[in-house]
Homo-oligomer: A and B are copies of this chain.
Amino acid sequence: MNQPGESLRDRKKRRTRAALERATVRLAAERGYDHVTVEEIAAEADVSVRTFFNYFASKDEALIGADPEAGPRMAERILAASDEVTPFEAYRQSVLAEITDELNNARDLWLLRKEVLMQRPDLLVRAFANSAESERLLANAVGRRAGLPESDLYPRLLVAAGSAAFRCAVTRWALDDSVALGDLVGDALELFGTGLAHVPPHHHEGGS
């Protein structure tokens, strides 16, 4: 009864984690992030407070619900990409793939998160603080791929640009979601790719 797929235990864990994430987002959207206590979240998900903290290191983390395996997965993809493509391209595709996946699996959650993030934009920034480890991982992957020394700024910058792109895209998307979030991230990365020195002519825009 130990299929490599998933044991009962694993399934339960996944469900509990998801329930906590959902509860956090739902309640926060409903009555405002800091009018919701962890106690209420835990109750909603039918576990103890202590269990909440076994799954998430902080309330912030639960709200964003960042997949701890996203970092390693992306690093993997970057290193696995064909040598034909530039490190930038490899990174870009890795990011977009991850985001597309995420949005397909949890579009409804993101719509709720949007409400919360509109009230408290700082939460999005803080969320990235938790993934400092993932950032280091990705930067290393990019650095190795580009054959650069540890001390080079480029890999770090590229990864930071990715975070920034995502962050800005979400902020913009929260303002008006007539353009898909994935496309906005794509646009943002495009701009970082070609450089910010000159104001770009135009991007998407609703339709003018």
Q: How would residues 109 to 136 of chain A score, 1 for a CB under 8 Å from any chain B CB and 0 otherwise?
A: 0000000000001110110111010001
Q: For the complex, is A74 an interface residue (Cβ under 8 Å from B)? A: no
Cα A193 to Cα B161 in complex, Å, equals 12
Work out how many copies of this chain go into the complex: 2
**Measured between C-beta atoms, what is the minimum distance from A201 to chain B in Å?**
10
Of the candidates B154, B168, B172, the one whose C-beta lies within 8 Å of that of A191 is B154
Which residues does chain B contribute within 8 Å of A169, judged by CB atoms? 153
**Measured between C-beta atoms, what is the minimum distance from A84 to chain B in Å?**
14
Pairwise interchain contact B196-A193, C-beta atoms closer than 8 A = yes
Q: For the complex, is A4 an interface residue (Cβ under 8 Å from B)? A: no
Pairwise interchain contact A160-B153, C-beta atoms closer than 8 A = no
Which residues does chain B contribute within 8 Å of A122, judged by CB atoms? 129-130, 132
Q: For the complex, is A151 an interface residue (Cβ under 8 Å from B)? A: yes
Cα A125 to Cα B124 in complex, Å, equals 11
Of the candidates B121, B128, B150, B168, the one whose C-beta lies within 8 Å of that of A125 is B128
23 interchain pairs (CB within 8 A)? Answer: A86-B197, A86-B198, A88-B197, A125-B128, A148-B199, A151-B172, A151-B205, A153-B188, A153-B191, A156-B168, A156-B171, A157-B188, A160-B168, A161-B161, A161-B164, A161-B192, A161-B196, A163-B164, A192-B195, A192-B196, A194-B195, A195-B195, A195-B197
